[in-house]
């Protein structure tokens, strides 16, 4: 158990709809990252938040948005969904790098989104 | 330009044998970190091993070792004494500017199959 919690684990919806994926990072981790993994693909970085502020942006579509709340949980909002948005969406968190901490990302189990 | 290249889409190895999974990277940043993750069929991402660009020795974690060749920009994962449970996707990843919490960039992965 990585300590990162993602809900829902599975989600099936129709094209044009909007969904929200939720992530609770490990206790004490300030950074939250969102990644998308399409079928048989590597992980594509979407966006990172650090202590409530957007820190880095990757290949995130304009139809997608995210935020991190004061309690450090994060939500990824996906709107106007298309068939190609079907993927496994991972949330990860990391501690501040320093000392013996190598800054690895701890991943949740992912939210599998299917758009029909 | 692709920052992480994993040239082996799939690999087979006999149980109890050693196997090397290739990873090359591209960066002009002198400070970076290299990571390997395992993704079993269940989907979770499991951190295996880390190598910092300034580390003098190759990293080892149990049956996993990282063959770090800085001049060649390669960071191959060596798994010794393969087990059936090692069958999974393996991803190489890099973080640039290793002093801060920045996202990891992942390769496309190598699917390892261990044969009894």
Note the pLDDT tens digit of each residue in A55-86: 999 989 999 999 999 999 999 999 999 999 99
Positive or negative, the CA dihedral A60, A103, A41, B42 is negative
User: Residue A56's beta-bridge partner residues?
Assistant: A48
Residue B29 exposure: Cα atoms within 13 Å on the Cβ side: 16
What value does the mean pLDDT of chain A take?
92
Nearest to B45 among A96, A102, A107 (CB): A107
A50 touches chain B (CB under 8 A): yes
Interface touch A42/B107, C-beta < 8 Å = yes
Please say whether the beta carbons of B12 and B59 come within 8 A: no
- Quote the pLDDT of residue B100: 63
Tell me which chain B residue has its CA closest to the CA of residue A102: B50
Length of chain B: 116
Distances (CA, A) of A99 to A51, A78, A88, A102, B99: 20, 37, 32, 8, 11
Mean pLDDT of B34-42: 95
Residue B98 pLDDT greater than 80, yes or no: no
Chain A residue numbers with beta carbons less than 8 Å from the beta carbon of B102 are 48, 55-56
Distance CA B93, CA B75 (A): 10
Cα distance between the two ends of chain A? 31
Amino acid B31: pLDDT: 87
Q: Cβ of A42 and B91 within 8 Å? A: yes
**Percentage of chain B surpassing pLDDT 70?**
96
Grouping H, G, I as helix, E, B as strand and the rest as coil, residue A100 is coil
Q: DSSP secondary structure string, B44-59?
A: --EEEEEEETT-SS--
Chain A residue numbers with beta carbons less than 8 Å from the beta carbon of B101 are 30-31, 48, 50, 55, 94, 96-97, 103
The dihedral region occupied by B98, where left means phi > 0, alpha psi between -120 and 50, and beta the remainder, is alpha
């Amino acid at each position: 158990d990585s300590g990162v919690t993602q809900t829902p684990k599975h989600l099936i919806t129709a094209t044009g709809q909007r969904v929200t994926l939720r992530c609770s990072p490990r206790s004490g981790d300030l950074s939250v990252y969102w990644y998308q993994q399409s079928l048989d693909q590597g992980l594509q970085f979407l966006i990172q938040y650090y202590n409530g502020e957007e820190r880095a942006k990757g290949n995130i579509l304009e139809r997608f948005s995210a935020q991190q709340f004061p309690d450090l949980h994060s939500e990824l909002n996906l709107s106007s969904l298309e068939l190609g948005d079907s993927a496994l969406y991972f949330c990860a968190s990391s501690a501040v790098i320093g000392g013996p901490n190598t800054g690895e990302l701890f991943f949740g189990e992912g939210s599998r989104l299917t758009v029909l | 330009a692709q920052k992480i290249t994993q040239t082996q889409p799939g690999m087979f190895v006999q149980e109890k044998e050693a196997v090397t999974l290739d990873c090359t990277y591209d960066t002009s940043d002198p400070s970076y970190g290299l990571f390997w993750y395992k993704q079993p069929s269940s989907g979770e991402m499991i951190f295996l091993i880390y190598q910092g660009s300034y580390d003098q020795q190759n990293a080892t974690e149990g049956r996993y070792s990282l063959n770090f060749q800085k001049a060649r920009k390669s960071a191959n994962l060596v798994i010794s004494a393969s087990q059936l449970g090692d069958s999974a996707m393996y991803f190489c990843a890099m973080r640039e500017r290793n002093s801060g919490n920045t996202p990891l960039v992942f390769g496309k992965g190598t699917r390892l199959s261990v044969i009894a």
